[in-house]
Amino acid sequence: MSGSGELPPTRHIVWDWNGTLLADNEAVVASVNAVCAAYGVEPVDLAGWRAVFGRPLRGAYERVLGRELDQRDWRAIDRIYHDTYRRSLHTCELAADAPHALREWRERGGSQSLLSMFFHDELVPLVERFGLGPVFGRIDGLRDSDVGGSKAAFLGAHLRSLELEPAETAVIGDVVDDAHAAEEVGARCVLVATGVMSREALENTGSPVADSLREAVTRLTAAVVL
């Protein structure tokens, strides 16, 4: 870092998976609507889910279903959602510009890794299905022992495993959790308005918001150290 207080350049990107590199909005909405059907509620579209989506997630479902949810409800919702999502995964593809964005960052000399709050044992085969395993220096999802908690804790452990300085790292994700995690550990963040969270909610984090992965990478390329 220079004596002027200038931030160090970004050397590494930690990518999010669902809604960022993986274009899974249709699978998400289908899974939410499976929950709606189970509770006798009219289905929602992507705009409708974006309008209510937020953390804690239970609150989003309470707004969609129009009722308070107890722990028994929440267990049922979690099962219905994930069963439907898994059945829909085969229909999901990478975001259209994901290969270009990943390649561009690598060609500019930057390193990259993947951190997802999806289950690790399911995440890795899915990443391999798209031939992306060699792209990432590390892939981390939720292990069996991981229950809840802030994404910041997972991000901190991820960076320590890679022996990376947070100040030289940027997170690219699609939800406010990504921005909060990055801020907590001292990393940068660029959000993409391609997932299930409204642009307004993303902008309220104060992080830059891009309309595509290529735009997100472009915001970082000028700072990469070759």
pLDDT tens digits for range 113-141: 999 999 999 999 999 999 999 999 999 99
pLDDT digits (tens, 9 = 90+) for 87-106: 999 999 999 999 999 999 99
Task: Tell me if residue 158 falls in helix, strand or coil.
Answer: helix
Long-range residue pairs from 72-81, CB within 8 A, at least 24 positions apart, any chain = 76/38, 77/35, 80/31, 80/34, 80/35, 80/38, 81/31, 81/32, 81/34, 81/35
pLDDT at 5 over 60: no
What pLDDT does residue 6 have? 46
What pLDDT does residue 220 have? 85
197-218 average pLDDT score: 95
What pLDDT does residue 9 have? 84
**Residue 210 forms beta bridges with which residues?**
192
CA end-to-end span of the chain: 16
Could you give the percent of the chain with pLDDT greater than 70? 92
Q: Contact, 190 vs 212, CB < 8 A?
A: no
Tell me whether strands 12-15 and 169-173 are parallel, antiparallel or unpaired: parallel
pLDDT band at 150 (very low <50, low <70, confident <90, very high): confident
More confident: 47 or 226: 47
Q: To the nearest 5 percent, what fractions of the chain are helix, strand and coil?
A: 50, 15, 35
pLDDT, mean over the chain: 91
- In whole angstroms, give the CA distance from residue 131 to residue 126: 9
pLDDT digits (tens, 9 = 90+) for 15-72: 999 999 999 999 999 999 999 999 999 999 999 999 999 888 899 999 999 999 999 9
pLDDT at 226 over 70: no
| Dihedral, 166, 167, 169, 174 alpha carbons, nearest 10 | 90
CB neighbours of residue 68 within 10 Å? 8
What pLDDT does residue 207 have? 95
Q: Contact, 144 vs 129, CB < 8 A?
A: no
pLDDT band at 1 (very low <50, low <70, confident <90, very high): very low
Three-state secondary structure of 79-98:
HHHHHHHHHHHHHCEECCCH
pLDDT at 81 over 80: yes
Peptide bond into 43 cis (omega under 30): no
Burial of 58 (0-12, 13-18, 19+ CB in 10 A): middle
